[in-house]
A and B are shown apart, each in its own frame.
Chain A
Amino acid sequence: MSQSKVIGFAPGGEDTVTIYERSQPGRRAFVAPPIDVPEAPLEELIPQSERRAEAPALPEVSEPEIVRHFNNLSKNNFDLDTGFYPLGSCTMKHNPKVNERVAAFPGHARLHPAQEARYAQGALELMSRLGRALAEVAGLPHVSLQPSAGSHGELAGLLLTRAYHDDRGEPRTKVLTPDTAHGTNPATVRMAGYEVVKVGTAPDGGVDLDDLRRKADGETACLMLTNPNTLGLFDRNISEIARIVHDAGATLYYDGANLNAVMGISRPGDMGFDIVHFNLHKTFSQPHGGGGPGAGPIAVSDRIEPFLPRPQVVEVDPGNGTAPVYDLDLVRPKSIGRLRGFAGNFGVFVRSYAYICSLGGDGLREASDAAVLNANYLKARLAEPGIGEHLPIAFDRPCMHEFVLSGQGARRNLGVKTLDIAKRLLDHRVHPPTVYFPLLVDEAMLIEPTETEPKERLDGFVEAVRAVLEEAAEDPEVARGAPYTTPVRRLDEAGAARRPVVRQPPAGAEPPGDPGDARQVTSGSL
């Protein structure tokens, strides 16, 4: 099978031996501090009924071998610091290094969350400043930093919506979500106890206004909307949408997943949204971490403010001309209550605050400009002959920070699916776009380059896509069998789901995979 044009993935680490398989009784990395108090027998301290009989089978490995184990594992990962990562909807922008440094200051990293406010003034001030900056970007006056991720912010938003309607004595039952929405939206609707009502998409990629008018009624609690939407398009009818939703007495919720397109250009509050969540781990530069951590602060309008989660950071003016002091307000009688422990993912706040300080207001605007310019440039280049006929743009309009191609053409003309193209791109050392989302587009490919990519990287991606398609025209089998140069090749996902092995089998257990034991989950202790 031809692989001649392939650049090749970086060499992987050692073969997949787990840390448990490296374990040898008697090895160790940890040395306990000396016992400096009377060595009371454990039996006297804890009744036998509550004591553990046998130690948990954690690995027994020396420090040098732990280091090698995880370093080798790391080499089986592709990462943003190594190459292009245009994963649509995830805003894989550069992770500034200074953010890691300032987050590690002991005054931040070693601050106990139950420290009294008077000894945590720097942290509370930082949270207050971050909240004000986010409020300005959103165009909404009040912020809660508490939610831990976008989906957590969505849940907060719908619980706020519920509290708002209940407070007015008008409980409602339905939440509208467009059919282009992220899966988190409908999942959140159900968690918040509402019924999902889908709103259609018009031929131009925006919300179908007629469908919205039909469905927005007295039972409608909220419309959840992403703008620009998951097709990367700004909904030109946003003011009319807001009017329809507000006339029905519902709230308008902004899923901030795509905020990176419009910072300093257009603000959700000015579009008429009542509640906004931010994905700090997308728009405001967190280490992506292999899937987190994140934070999903929310900004709200005046009418929603009384219901914000507890605690809230408040700034108190001592009134004697001295600097303001900061506190956590726990007494909020109409609050929906806590969504988590303590006051939020502070370490995430430090990094995003550092990012906002680094860029400033003008820099945030420039970041959005560059994100949109990069996306439109990449879109234009991927429309060139040799590519465009196989991967047509799903909605041919200027896009915002991301855009959707359809792999229909490639499937029809070349006999390769979007999945095959994505897998073959792995051999070219780029991360493929998000595939098969949004669901509305057949064989979808959602591409988000972000502002931190230089033109040469975008051009390199275009050439990689072109090479994959040219190769497929000659021999589609190459893409269908890809990847070839990665640490492992295509994996049997069906087998993994049919017979789930979700932990290391206990020592001495039968190896998994015997069909007689199908679907049985490995259990017991090592």
Chain B
Amino acid sequence: MAAEQSYPEGLLYHPEHDWARLEGEEGTFGITWFAQDSLGEVVFFDPPSVGTQIKKDEPYAEVESVKAVSDVIAPLSGEIVAVNEALGDEPGAVNEDPYGEGWMVRVRLSDPSERDSLLDREAYEQLVQES
């Protein structure tokens, strides 16, 4: 069952439809409701390995629906410290709970100043409405 459209307060958003939840030195990343809705039912998530360095604005993983493949863009730079293994068995969590069970990776952030370029909820909602 797909989730209702929502863009929670308190997350930071990347214009490529990714979100980041910051907790101290670390951030949790995933894709937004808008991204999962355009993709359709997610059938596979190909995560990076723990320890991989990822760079803001560059793809760090792929997510697949039945008839589309999409790069997942890193909202911030850092090193992967955990991946959501549960998506291997239940990729549909990305559709059902994009900001919760559907999280993708946890990252130790390397450049805290990068967060200033991300959007807050209001700015991202504006962007979604325009697209």
Q: List 12 A-B contacts (CB under 8 A).
A: A494-B40, A494-B42, A494-B92, A497-B44, A497-B64, A498-B44, A498-B91, A515-B89, A515-B90, A518-B88, A518-B90, A519-B88
Q: Tell me whether B66 and A494 are in contact (CB under 8 A).
A: yes
Chain A facing B: main interface SS: helix
Q: Mark B23-43, 1 if CB is under 8 A from A, else 0.
A: 000000000000000001111
A498 contacts B67, C-beta separation under 8 Å: no
Q: Is A78 an interface residue (CB 8 A)?
A: no
Take A436-B67, A494-B66, A497-B66 as given contacts and tell me if A518 and B41 are in contact as well, using a CB distance cutoff of 8 Å.
no
A509 to B40, CA, bound (A): 32
Decide yes or no whether B65 CB sits under 8 A from chain A: yes
> In the complex, what residues of A have CB within 8 A of residue B42's CB?
494
Nearest chain A CB to B37 CB, angstrom units:
14
- Within 6-53 of B, Cβ neighbours of A (below 8 Å) are at 40-44
Residue A302 lies at the interface, judged by CB distance under 8 Å to chain B: no
The CA-CA distance from A494 to B42 in the complex, in Å, is 7
Which one, A436, A494, A515, A516, contacts B43 given CB within 8 A? A494
- Bound: A516/B88 CA distance, A: 11
Chain A residue at smallest Cβ distance from B68: A436
The answer for the CA separation of A518 and B87 in the assembled complex, in Å, is 10
User: What is the minimal beta-carbon distance from B85 to any residue of chain A, in angstroms?
Assistant: 12
Compute how far the CA of A498 lies from the CA of B89 in the bound complex, rounded to whole angstroms: 8
In the complex, A493 has a CB within 8 A of chain B? yes
Bound Cα distance from A424 to B67, whole angstroms:
20
Closest Cβ of chain A to B107, distance in Å, is 25
The answer to whether A494 and B89 have CB atoms under 8 Å apart is no
Task: Report how many residues on chain A are interfacial, defined by Cβ distance under 8 Å.
Answer: 9
A494 x B90 contact (CB < 8 A) = no
CB pair A494 B65 closer than 8 Å: yes
Q: 4 additional contacts, CB 8 Å, given A494-B40, A497-B43?
A: A494-B42, A498-B44, A515-B89, A519-B89
**Chain A residue at minimal CB-CB distance from B40:** A494
Residues of A487-526 contacting chain B, CB below 8 A: 493-494, 497-498, 515-516, 518-519
Q: Are B89 and A518 in contact (CB under 8 A)?
A: yes
Give Cα distance in the complex from A362 to B98, angstroms.
61
B residues 55-78 in Cβ contact with A at 8 Å:
64-67
Most chain B CB within 10 A, of A436, A498, A515, is at A498
With A498-B43, A498-B44 as contacts: A493 and B90 at CB distance below 8 Å: no
Q: How many Å from the CB of A473 to the closest CB on chain B?
A: 26
Residues in A neighbouring B91, C-beta threshold 8 A: 498
**Taking the nearest CB of chain A, how far is it from the CB of B45, in angstroms?**
11
* A497, A515, A518 — most chain B CB neighbours (10 Å): A497
Q: In the A-B complex, list the 5 residue pairs whose CB atoms are closest, starting with the nearest.
A: A494-B41, A497-B43, A518-B89, A493-B66, A498-B43
Closest to B43 in A: A497
Contact with A along B81-107 (1 / 0, CB 8 A): 000000011111000000000000000
Contacts of A493 in B (CB 8 A): 66
Complex alpha-carbon distance, A494 and B68, angstroms: 12
CB distance from A187 to the nearest CB of B (A): 13
Cα–Cα distance between A79 and B121 once the two chains are bound (Å)? 52
Report A-chain residues with C-beta under 8 Å of the C-beta of B67.
Answer: 436
Q: How far is the CB of A420 from the nearest CB of chain B, in Å?
A: 14
What residue in chain A is nearest B90 (Cβ atoms)?
A518
Report the Cα distance A292→B41, complex, angstroms: 30
List residues 459-501 of chain A with CB under 8 A from any CB of chain B.
493-494, 497-498
Min distance, Cβ B84 to any Cβ of chain A, angstroms: 14
Min CB distance B111 to A, Å, is 30
**Interchain nearest-CB distance for A510 vs B (Å):** 16
* A494→B95 CA distance, assembly (Å): 12
Please give the distance in Å from B67's CB to the nearest CB on chain A: 7
Measured CA separation A494–B91 after assembly (Å): 10
A498 surroundings in chain B (CB, below 8 A): 43-44, 91-92
State the CA gap A519–B66 with chains docked (Å). Answer: 14
**Residues of B contacting A494 with CB < 8 Å?**
40-43, 65-66, 92
Distance (whole angstroms) from the CB of B81 to the closest CB of chain A: 24
A497 to B42, CA, bound (A): 9
Give the shortest distance, in Å, between B119 (CB) and chain A (any CB).
26
Interface centre among A436, A494, A516 (most CB of B within 10 A): A494
Residue of B nearest to A517 (CB): B89
Minimum distance in angstroms from A272 CB to a CB of chain B = 35
Q: Which A residues are CB-close (under 8 A) to B89? A: 515-516, 518-519
Instruction: Report B-chain residues with C-beta under 8 Å of the C-beta of A519.
Output: 88-89
